[in-house]
């Protein structure tokens, strides 16, 4: 599979951030499954293209898959609270979110029913004052990052829901060390959760890095559907 030298449909290859121009090359891959070695796939697909000081951005979904944190929708068993609470969640253009019992159950499993109930209660209070998004702020990153299936996603993941990956920073550091030791290249790796309505950086809390990355991927250059480009390489244009 090649590193693409053209953007995904509707996206731009080049972006300007803080007066500097950066190129963003999507990386097309095979379909990734839970028993795959993600680092090996990264090496295979990027080793002949990467240059020193490049940045590699990974969609959180592929790391979640290999960590076995992606679940077939029809096999997720849900209880009363998941069924009840999901009725009050609105769908957005980014997907179903927690508006169905299956994804709401995943949220309950991740952070506990008490936190979900508390976030639900206070979000109602905040809505009275016309403050939106309080539920996901109070429920936390793990809940905000839950993805439900979409019909345009590559099979079989059009029938799966997933949690955010664990230890994203650890994986990023492992990838950086691997490429440094084997290829003597200083490459930065970041795991992100991005869609057409927002961006969440999972593998760093460094304010400068987070600010840069949010600008870099605010238009979601990897796409969320059938592009098969779960990575992209960012390079300063000289």
CA distance 194 to 204: 14
Helix (H, G, I), strand (E, B) or coil at 168: helix
When pLDDT is cut at 50, 70 and 90, the band that residue 110 belongs to is: very high
Total-model pTM: 0.90
Percentage of residues of the chain with pLDDT beyond 90: 66
CA distance 218 to 226: 19
Residue 197: what pLDDT?
A: 64
Q: What are the sequence ranges of the domains in the chain? A: 14-69+164-236, 73-162
In the predicted structure, residue 44 carries a pLDDT above the cut 90: yes
In the predicted structure, residue 223 carries a pLDDT above the cut 80: no
Q: Which residue has the higher pLDDT, 80 or 197?
A: 80
Helix (H, G, I), strand (E, B) or coil at 121: helix
Cα 57 versus chain centre, distance = 10
Q: Which residue has the higher pLDDT, 196 or 127?
A: 127
Contacts 24+ apart (CB under 8 A), 177-182: 178/39, 178/43, 179/43, 179/50, 182/43
Residue 227: what pLDDT?
A: 75
Greatest Cα-to-Cα distance within the chain, rounded to the nearest angstrom: 57
Question: Span 181-204, mean pLDDT?
Answer: 89
pLDDT tens by residue, 51-100: 999 999 999 999 999 999 999 999 999 999 999 999 988 776 667 889 99
Residue 153: what pLDDT?
A: 81
Question: Span 11-38, mean pLDDT?
Answer: 92
Sign of CA dihedral 171, 210, 58, 149: positive
In the predicted structure, residue 165 carries a pLDDT above the cut 70: yes
CA distance 58 to 169: 12
Q: Looking at the domain 14-69+164-236, which fold is it? A: 60s Ribosomal Protein L30; Chain: A; (3.30.1330)
Residue 224: what pLDDT?
A: 61
When pLDDT is cut at 50, 70 and 90, the band that residue 134 belongs to is: confident
CB–CB of 224/154 below 8 Å?
A: no
CA distance 116 to 110: 10
């Amino acid at each position: 599979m090649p590193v693409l030298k053209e953007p995904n449909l509707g996206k731009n290859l080049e972006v300007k951030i803080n007066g500097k121009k950066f190129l963003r090359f999507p990386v097309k891959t095979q379909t990734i499954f839970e028993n795959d070695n993600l680092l090996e796939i990264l090496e295979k697909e990027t080793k002949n293209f990467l240059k020193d000081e490049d940045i590699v951005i990974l969609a959180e979904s592929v790391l979640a898959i290999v960590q076995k944190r992606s679940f077939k929708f029809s096999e997720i068993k849900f209880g009363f609270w998941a069924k009840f609470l999901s009725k009050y969640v609105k769908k957005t253009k980014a997907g179903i979110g927690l508006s169905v019992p299956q994804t709401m159950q995943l949220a309950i499993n991740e952070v506990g029913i008490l936190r979900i109930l508390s976030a639900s209660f206070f979000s109602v209070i905040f809505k009275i004052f016309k403050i939106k998004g309080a539920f996901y702020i109070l429920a936390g990153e793990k809940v905000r990052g839950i993805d439900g299936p979409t019909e345009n996603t590559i099979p079989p993941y059009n029938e799966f829901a997933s949690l955010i990956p664990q230890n994203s920073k650890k994986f990023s550091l492992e990838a950086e060390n691997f490429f440094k030791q084997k290829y003597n290249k200083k490459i930065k790796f970041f795991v992100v959760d991005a869609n057409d309505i927002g961006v969440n950086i999972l593998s760093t809390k460094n304010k400068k890095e987070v600010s840069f990355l949010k600008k870099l991927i605010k238009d979601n250059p990897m796409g969320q559907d059938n592009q098969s480009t779960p990575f992209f390489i960012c390079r300063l244009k000289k």
